Structure 1
Amino acid sequence: MRVLVGHNRYTQHGGEDAVFNAEVAMLESNGHEVIVFEKSNNQIASMSKASAAMSFVWSRESKRELQEVIGRRRPEIAHFHNTFPLISPSAYYACKEAGIPVVQTLHNYRLLCPAYTLVRNGEVCEICINKSFAWPAIRYRCYRGSAMQSAGVGAMLTIHRLMKTWSETVSAYIALTQFSRGKFIEGGFPAEKMHVKPNFMVPAQSSTPALHERNYLLFVGRLSHEKGTDVLLHALTRLRHIPVKIIGDGPLAEQLDSFIQDNGLTNVERIGQLPHDEVLPFVEAAACLVVPSRWYEGFPMTIVEAFSRAVPVIAARLGSLAEIVDDGTTGLHFDSGSSEDLARKLDWGWSNKEAMRAMGDNALREFRDNYLPQRNHEILMTIYKSAIGTGDPT
């Protein structure tokens, strides 16, 4: 199959970029002809503010370039990951005019929320989901702290809702979880076009067995309010006997360092930011991974990586996390935002190592059943066939 894949890369390489790269490699390894159409946010620096703002809504340049690629390569289907801000929804129309069905992966909540996270002030916020125009986003300066830029993204969402872009030019959407699918349906997206396909992972080579002492708990992620790192540290004031390693950096780094020092948390080691390949050995040697987020995570690859190493996960009972981690089977849930409940679950997990090992074994089975490339390819082909069957033949 000739597949055109489109993606607007971020200034700093992140999870969506990594998933895009992995999916391109998966398609190629399964014998598909992959046509890559890319833009990068690094290009924005050379654009005028007016031109950049216009590209939010409609990029004539991207549409023209895409039409040229389509004319030359004649893809059978187009699959977009991130189109914001330089590719824009104009890409869907380039495909529609050429009779090419479009698939859009929903890595985040951009099409429901100008901030793309459904988070405001570090907490879940859904007030724009059913708004005809995202006025609250302008009031609260949700996109990059700017009322003007928030208005630009809000205008893009409203204009394309009125143009019926979301309902009529996209043949199939891919949500990462059933929870995410439900949020988009709640926001007015057509249920019949909403499919679910999780992220996947190519298993990395295991490190040496000597590292697998499983003698600490692990947090990996951005040190920010919505990630719940403060919830974890407050829980650890009750659990000074449990060693914990924290990998990552972010806006709360100094505050967390002060908290660790002021409260004498000598059991907590903050390692800082590490390259991805240096994180995996820490995951593999952990007793469990802790995910204390306060927001609707998309599909954290750290959980998939933990599962691939038979490491159970203790996660907030919130959004997709409660779906990905099966409470009592592949890990444990705690009440989101509650350091008391998190402390109880961490203490139980540390005191019941055999039960946690069994959950780790279940997590590895879950990984092998659902998160390997071949299974993901099968799901993707089913979605592509559905999209081709409903594509606009004109």
Structure 2
Amino acid sequence: MRILFIHNYYQQRGGEDIIFEQEVAMLREAGSIVETVEFTNDGFDGSLLGTVTGAALSLYSSQSARRVEQAIDRFKPDVVHIHNLFYTATPSVIQAVKRRNIPVVMTLHNYRLVCASGMLMREGEVPCERCLTKTIPLDGIRFGCFRDSRLQSTQLTAITSLHKLTGVWRMVDRFIVLTEFARAKMLQSSLGLRPDQVVVKPNAVPDLGYADPAQREDYFLYIGRLSPEKGIHTLLAAFGATSQRLKILGDGPLKADVEKAVQQHQTIQFLGHQPRAAVVEQLKKCRALVVPSIWYEGLPTVILEAFATGTPIIYADQANLRSIVGDYGTRFLPGDAASLRQVIHEVSSGKLSDNTAQAIRGQYETQYTSAEIAHKQLFIYKNVSPAKMANEYVI
């Protein structure tokens, strides 16, 4: 299969960039012929002039459309897969692809099309769905949800609102979301999408290797950003009132709160930001991974890595995490330190069996390996372009 990927890099490298690069490599390894058209936001400097100019350029870019048309004419893809369009690429590239009568698939890594923050949350309101169903969501401007700037939030809201009004998103043949929860939210949203337009395909993670339960040590582990929506205060309050050990890996705005907790409680250890190999080693040795997030999350890579290593998971019982982890983890009430503390006690008093760890590992083997995700992705492509591929792929 011939696949043309389109991706717009942000000025700061993020998770979307990594997933885009991983998918390109994964599909090439699976035997597909893949080319890319890549854009950057280097011209958007965040100044008043840059924001005003960017607002106009982000609505429609004939230059971006031409680049994509030229790539299509040269490469002749069976399908075009878009990862990010903001800001240089613009939805003009969707129209360019459809002018060539090529199917379009687009991954939604977040809720940016319906929420200025992209996360269905804002400071003081986690989660937040004020803008989810509004065609012109003014609350995102009111609260300066994008980069804490009303000006930049106005720019983004104008872009997404106008594109909703023009119906450009309905030109996309398939939107890929990461979880069933995200699918339900997007179908509920102001985008007006059809149920058959939105499909679920998670990300893949490398096989980190199964960890023998007999080799695990007596401590719990948190890996991630140190920020309020991640439930850090709940985590610290719960472990501050137990004798159980906790290791924290990561960095973020609540670093000072974590360091204060370390000074007050000898059982809490802060390791800061660590190299990937060190993170994996800690994950394989811990008694359980704790995921205390109070926001909806997307599809946390650390949970998939816990599956890969057979690591038990303790998680906040909110809808999206429940759709990911389900009965393969132990739940507590979101934001409730006493509830988390009770679960910590229950888990620490038991012993992880090889059967349980293997069942957790089974989630990875059946759902998140590169081979499985490539299979699902090719199946999505096949269904948007059946005439070209009906005799070429057996799924």
Q: Report the TM-score when normalising by structure 2.
A: 0.92
Q: Which residue of 1 aligns with 2:281?
A: 281
Aligned 8 A contact 1:315 1:333 in 2: yes
Q: Does 1:192 align with 2:196?
A: yes
Q: How much has 1:70 moved relative to structure 2?
A: 1.4
**1:292-320 Cα distance to aligned partner (Å, 9 max, x none):** 10111110010111111110111111132
User: Does the 8 A contact of 2:210 with 2:310 survive in 1?
Assistant: no
Residue pair 1:201, 1:372 contacting (<8 A) in 2 also: yes
Which residue does 2:70 correspond to in 1?
68
Partner of 1:313: 313
**After TM superposition, where is structure 1 displaced by more than 4 Å over at least 4 residues in a row?**
none
Q: Which amino acid aligns with 1:335?
A: L
Query: Does residue 386 of structure 2 align to residue 386 of structure 1?
Result: no
**Structure 2: how far apart are the matches of 1:212 and 1:18?**
31
Alignment of 1:1-394 (within 5 A): 1-45=1-45, 48-121=50-123, 123-167=126-170, 169-187=171-189, 188-204=192-208, 212-239=215-242, 241-261=243-263, 264-327=264-327, 330-354=328-352, 358-389=355-386
In structure 1, C-alpha distance between the alignment counterparts of 2:85 and 2:319, rounded to whole Å? 24
1:215, 1:243 within 8 Å by CA — same for their partners in 2?
yes
Unaligned 5+ runs, structure 2: 389-395
- 1:211–1:285 contact (8 Å) kept in structure 2: no
**1:354: how far off?**
3.2
* Partners of 2:262 and 2:269 within 8 A in 1: no
The 1-side partners of 2:208 and 2:312 are apart by: 18
Distance 2:278 2:93 in 1: 38
* Partner-residue secondary structure (3-state), 2:271: strand
- Note the C-alpha offset of 1:42: 3.9
Deviation at 1:35, TM superposition (A): 0.9
CA distance in 2: counterparts of 1:45 and 1:56, whole angstroms = 14
Structure 1 residues 206 and 192: alpha-carbon distance in aligned structure 2, compared to 1, 3 A threshold = closer
Could you tell which deviates more after superposition, 224-233 or 75-84?
Answer: 75-84
CA distance in 1, matches of 2:209, 2:340: 32
1:289–1:311 CA contact under 8 A, matched in 2: yes
Q: Which moved more, 1:359-368 or 1:107-116?
A: 359-368
Aligned AA for 2:21? Answer: N
Deviations 1:244-263 (A, max 9, x none): 110000011112212332xx
**Counterparts of 1:7 and 1:295 in 2: how far apart (Å)?**
26
Offset at 1:71? 1.7
Partner SS for 1:182: helix
Q: SS state of the match for residue 307, structure 2?
A: helix
In 2, the alpha carbon distance for the partners of 1:170 and 1:26 equals: 23
Would the alpha carbon gap of residues 290 and 377 (structure 1) be closer, same or farther in structure 2, given more than 3 Å must change? Answer: same
1:14, 1:68 → 2: CA distance?
28
Q: Provide the aligned length of Structure 1 versus Structure 2.
A: 383
Q: CA deviation at 1:43?
A: 4.6
Shift of 1:28: 0.1
- Paired with 2:203 and 2:219, the residues of 1 have a C-alpha distance of 27
C-alpha contact (below 8 Å) 1:103/1:172 kept by paired residues: yes
Q: Is the Cα contact below 8 Å between 2:105 and 2:174 reproduced in 1?
A: yes
Task: Give the superposition deviation at 1:335.
Answer: 1.2
Q: What is the identity, as a one-letter code, of the residue corresponding to 1:305?
A: E
Amino acid at match of 2:90: S
**AA paired with 2:333?**
D
1:57 Cα deviation from its structure 2 partner: 2.3
Q: Are the counterparts in 1 of residues 115 and 131 from structure 2 also a CA contact under 8 Å?
A: yes
- Taking the aligned partners of 2:222 and 2:326, their CA distance within structure 1 comes to 19
Supply the distance in 1 between the matched residues of 2:347 and 2:169 (Cα, whole angstroms). Answer: 44
Query: Residue 171 of structure 1 contacts residue 390 of structure 1 at CA under 8 Å; is this kept in 2?
Result: no
Q: Give the structure-1-normalised TM-score.
A: 0.92
Distance 1:274 1:42 in 2: 29
CA distance in 2, matches of 1:172, 1:131: 22
Deviation at 1:290, TM superposition (A): 0.6
Q: In the superposition, relative to structure 1, how do residues 210 and 317 fare at CA in structure 2: closer, same or farther (>3 Å)?
A: closer
Once residues 326 and 363 of structure 1 are traced to their aligned partners in structure 2, the CA distance between those partners, rounded to angstroms, is 11
SS in 2 for 1:231: helix
SS where residue 235 of structure 1 aligns? helix
- Looking at structure 2, the residues matched to 33 and 214 of structure 1 have their Cα atoms a distance apart, in angstroms, of 45
Residue deviations 1:301-343 (CA, integer Å, cap 9, x gap): 101111111101111111321111123xx21111111111111
Unaligned runs of at least 5 residues, structure 1: none
Q: Residue 219 of structure 1: SS of its match in structure 2?
A: strand
Q: Would the alpha carbon gap of residues 383 and 210 (structure 1) be closer, same or farther in structure 2, given more than 3 Å must change? A: closer
* Per-residue deviation, residues 238-287 of structure 1 (Å, max 9, x unmatched): 21x211110000011112212332xx211111111123333111111111
Residues of 1 paired with 2:53 and 2:366: CA distance?
A: 46
8 Å Cα contact 1:297/1:321 also seen in 2: yes
Q: Is the CA contact (8 Å cut-off) linking 2:60 and 2:92 kept in structure 1?
A: yes
